[in-house]
Every structure is written in structure tokens, then in C-alpha cells.
A and B are shown apart, each in its own frame.
Chain A
Amino acid sequence: MQVRVHPDYQAPTQPTAPAGTRESMVVRIEPSTGWAPLKLRELWQYRELIYTFTRRDIKVRYKQTALGAAWAIIQPFFTMVVFTLFFGKLAKIPSEGLPYSIFSYTALIPWTFFAHGISQSTNSLVNNSNLISKVYFPRLVIPIAAVLGGTVDFIPAFTVLLGMMFYFGITPSLNVLWLPLFLLLALTTSLGVGLWLSATNLRFRDVGHTVNFVVQFWLFATPIAYSSSLLPQPWRTLYGINPMVGVVEGFRWALLGTNTAPGPITIVSALAALALLVSGAFYFRRMERTFADVI
């Protein structure tokens, strides 16, 4: 097809590509069917965007608040106070020989991180609807940033924990080095569930409404207010199917030295978390093609 050039158009002086071109990339656009690939390499290319979104979410959360970072401490702390009063003192639930307050607080820290991650990521796609309909980037970035935003809250809450350990005279052993792994497990679970819920919430908005209820229920299904040793074997190992069991007991073992060393429970939890993450990622990628049309 012949195309004439407008007389005012100045042809570029060099026919070569503009400066700063990456290796010539060809993108093919066509309708996709079935399961979509995860495209992790592309996700890696967009890692700066993940960081940008995480920073944005954190900044926005703390702007115009008087208490700022204190909010990260208030929730787990006051939950601990209530639990200690009712479960510890009144119901006298056993706490592995440790003061009930620190027993529950150690579990509440990763729990708060997990719960926050889920509720933030469930609504993350809906909240970023204007981006989804206007700009291209791998949509996985959004729930990932939502979950990562909770890591910042982790630090002040953890500091309070250290204070409590000092107060009760508990010195952590070398097992503390395992802590990052348990945190990673919590992150994996949070992200896995978040991927499932955020993609579904876009189409069926009731998910967003019920997530808080689900989280509450899940809290009591996790050994935060009590110890998993209440369960006899083999139920105790199977209990690990709730990945947060592995996280919570792992935290307590690493920091407080309870007798729940990484074992069968942790393995079951890790597998369950991985299953959630991988299945969530594939589900998300499959639903992604309809996001812009459904939002």
C-alpha cells in the first residue's frame, strides 16, 4: 500500500533505532486459551514497579495519620492483651510453660502480617482498577506489592516482641536464624491466598466483603491462642495443612524455644503453602486476560 509523506514531515536523519533501544523485542498479541504461562522473567523485569507500588501503598497508609507506625503495633498488642485476659487468665489455656502474653504475641506477629496481606491483596485489583484499564504491566505486580507492604509493619511489632522477651528474661537460641524462613512461609501463604482471592474478587465482589470473616475464622483455626500440642498425633501433623500452623509454631520455636522443632508439621505446612502459591499464580494468570473487561 502506497503511503505518501506529508510535505511538512521531516524524515529522521538516521534510519536506525533511537538511542537506548534494548535488544529488538517482538511482542505477539493474539487471543489466548487455557492456562497461561507465568512469565516470571517479565515479572522480574518489572521488579522496580513492584517496589514503587509497595512504597506507594506504605506511604499512603501513613500519610495524614497522627500515630503513623504505631498502628503496626496496636493491633497485635491489644489482641494479645485481650487473649491474655480471657484465654490465659480466665480460661487458663496452657501455654507451653511460658507466660501467656508472650506465647500469644509471638504468634500474633506473623499472623498480623498474614491477615494484613490477605485483606490488602484481595481488594488490590479493584482498588487499582484505573491502572488495569489504562496501562500494561504484569498484573501479578499488584497483589505482590499489596502483600509486601506488610513487611514494614513487621518491624515495629517485632521490636515490641524483643522488648517483651527482655522483660521476661527469655534469651533466644541460635534457632532464631530460622526465623526468616518462617517469615517467608507466611509470605508465601499470604501471597497464595491473596492471588486466589484478588482474581476472584474482581468478578465476584462478595469475596471482598467476606474476607474479613474468613480471616477471623482462620485466626481461631490457627494455634495462636492455644498450642498445637493440644492435638494428638496424627492429627497434629495433619493440622499442618493450614500453613499458618507451621509459621506460628515455627516462630514460637525459633524465638521462645518451645518444643515444636521443624518437623513433619513444618513440611506439611510448607507444601501446603507452595501448593497455594503455585495454584494461585496459575489461576491468576488465567483470569488475567479478562481483568480489563470485567473491572
Chain B
Amino acid sequence: MSEIAIRADGLAKQYRIGERQRWGRTLRETVAETFHSHLRRRSARRGGQAVATPLAPDLVWALDGVSLEVKRGEILGLIGRNGAGKSTLLKILSRITEPTRGSAEIHGRVGSLLEVGTGFHPQLTGRENIYLNGAILGMSKGEIGRKFDEIVAFADIDRFLDTPVKRYSSGMTVRLAFAVAAHMEPEILLIDEVLAVGDFAFQRKCLGKMQDVAGHGRTVLFVSHSMGSVKALCNRCLLLEHGKSVADGLPADVVARYIDQHELARAERRSRRVPADHGKEFFMHHSDALGDITVFCGDPITLQFDIEAPTSLPDVGIKIHVVSRTGDPIIGMGSLIQEEPASARTSRLWRVRCDMGRLPINAGTYFVNVHLGNARRSGRTASFLHAFKITVIAYDALGWGSMVPSTPIYWTPEWDIEPLG
């Protein structure tokens, strides 16, 4: 049995876009255009002008030389921005489209899940569609028959088996589609971002089932935009950008790099000098890169900015409030600007770095308000509202095997639980 499940060598795919290649163009149009371009050339030649070359069609390389080796049993996550080439790679490996250049070798039977419910026909019943969809995915009739009850139980549509699928709710359709797909038993499974649909409980069920699948020595290639899923499920991750593979390694590392690059793009913009919303003589300097923070639940967060004050700042404290998207304050922190000797007091420019550590805030969008005020008097000297935006992505920070509960803040106290009697 070969150690390698997939070996790809310089796979590249070129697409033609734009008006010149219209899909489903008519015969008449093709003939007319050939005739016209011929006429154009003839008249140009006669007039002594250079033959006008027609506009070069727009060619894009959806995939630009990707090589990789996937060992049997690996679960490879494929991430990248939209248009990076992830789906194209899967399509080529699924033999749906041919590469323009390069080659690949696949060892074993391939099952592709590029869309759930492929081939579902709305007029047919759930039962009939299980057989149809299963056959399309490559299962034999006997196989489907054996797994039929499992599939129905997984999808939880027992009562609706003999109703036409067009009467199903969208949730039921997805559950049924995924149930059939989850019971495929190919040696290699290629999955393209199909987990985005379905409610959360179901997503968990599917992830669990796929982990089963992978645990039996099957190889999985998994495209997803859900970094949480990729980190939870995969043991290797590949980052694609503009059709090329730019990072390959542990999911945590590659995902971090992906997120970094997002922010890096923004850091190209220069740092801005923003006046305070309250207390106009104060300014904050920060770059957009540091102003828009994206982290996973439980990741450390650091705020960094510069404060420019009209005068020196004796006895001034700085307060930072993390507020929810709707403006409710969630967490507050504060510090005196300086507790230092007199020499430092004349400075008007301060660099503040606030390492908040592993802030226990749950997934969501938050804003950071920065307030400057006199430590001894109440009231605010200056306020910077929404100076930062923090996006927290759901992730299993507590190691519960599920996403953290839905409270804005979570905590990890010391637990001591024991049975009585």
C-alpha cells in the first residue's frame, strides 16, 4: 500500500475570462465573428496599415504551479482568500477539470464533496434521493442499502423519507445531503467548504463523523474559511495565495500567518494621527494594522498606540474599556501614565503598550475606548472612542471539544468535583 495518497507536481490551471469567450455562444456568433475578423484583416492589409491585433483575451492563472505530497492518513486543511485557487485545486484532483500544466497522481478511490446534495432531485422522495445521491458519490447500491438506516438516523428525517425533497426545509435538505456524504468510504476525501451551512449542532456532528473517517487511515483534504474548524480538525495546513502555495505546516502556524497577512495588507497604510473625541488637543497615533485586531478566543491581545498631549501629563491615568458591539462595557483596565521621576514628566509624547494577555472574551466584535483622565479627580481629560476594533473568532479555548459557551466573558476557575456516595 503506497505511503503517498496524493502527489501533485506543478499543477496549473488557466482560465479565459471576459467577453471573448462567452459560454454557450451560438454558432451564428462564432461564424459572424470569424467572418468579421477576416474582413478586418483584409481591409487593413489593403490599406497598408499593420494588421490590428484583436484584444488579447484576459487570461488568469487560477492555479499557478502547486506541488504537494499528501501522505495516507493526513488531514490537510487548505486555506486562503477567495480566488486563491483552493476550489480549483480540488476540482483538478477530483478530475472534474483538467490542469493546463503539471500532473498529479492519486492513489486510491476519491470521494469529492464539493457541494452537498449534488444531484438531489426535488421531485424525488428522500429515500429515492439517498440512493441517487449515493450512487452519484460513488457508492454501490449494496453499500447504500447496508448504510441506509445509519444515514437516515444521522440525518434525523425518519418521518419524511417518503416525501418529495422539494417539501423539505433547507436544514433538512442539508442534513440529508451531509448524511449521505458522511457515509461515503473513499480512501481519499476532498471537501470544499461545505460546513458553512447547517446549524451549529449539526456542524459539530459532521466534524465528529469526519474525524471518524480520518481516524481510519483515510486521507482528507479540507477547504474551509473557518479557521476554528481547520485548527480543530487538521494535522497539516496549506495556505494558497494567487494560485501558489505559500505556507505549509502545522495548522496553528499557517493560520496565524494567514491572519497576519490580512493585517499586513492593512499595515501598508501609514499610521494616522487621530484627534480625541473629547479633549481635542490630544492625539493618538496608531497604524491601521494595529488598530484592527483579529484573534481567536483565548489568544493574547496587545494594544499599542502613541499619545500626543498638549502639555505634559502629571497625574494622568489611562483607562481602557473593552466594549461590545452595542457599546456595553465589558472589561475595564487602567494605569497611571507614569509613576516616574520628574524628568519624564515633561514629555508630551507617550508610547503605550498594553499587553492584555489572554483576554477571556467570547467570540464577537468589540471596540476599545481609551480614556485619559486625572487620577485624582474624576472626569475625563480626553477620550478616544473606538480606537481599536477587536474581532474574536470562535475557537475551543477551553479544550471542551466544542465552542465556548455563549456568555460574553468566560473564565477558567479551579474545579474540584467529586461524587458523594
Contact = CB atoms under 8 A, between A and B. Distances in A.
B234 A294 contact: no
Contacts of B115: 130, 134
Interface string A267-284: 000000000000000000
Given A18-B216, A135-B136, A295-B23, A206 B28 contact: yes
A203 B98 CA distance: 17
B123 A63 contact: yes
B103 A28 contact: yes
10 contacts: A17-B108, A18-B217, A28-B104, A48-B140, A130-B118, A134-B112, A134-B118, A136-B94, A136-B96, A292-B91
B266 to A, nearest CB: 30
A215 interface: no
A48 B135 contact: yes
Contacts of B108: 17, 21, 24-25
Interface residues of A, number: 53
A137 interface: yes
Nearest to A15: B217
A263 interface: no
A89 interface: no
B236 interface: yes
B314 to A, nearest CB: 51
Contacts of B28: 206
- What does DSSP make chain A's interface, helix, strand, loop or mixed? loop
Contacts of B187: 17-18, 21
Given A135-B136, A137-B136, A206 B26 contact: yes
Nearest to B70: A3
B52 interface: no
A205 B30 CA distance: 12
A204 B128 CA distance: 33
Contacts of A292: 91, 96-97
B250 A133 contact: no
A65 to B, nearest CB: 11
A204 B29 CA distance: 9
B2 interface: yes
Given A12-B217, A293-B97, A18 B185 contact: yes
A193 B94 CA distance: 29
A14 interface: yes
A40 interface: no
A59 B234 CA distance: 42
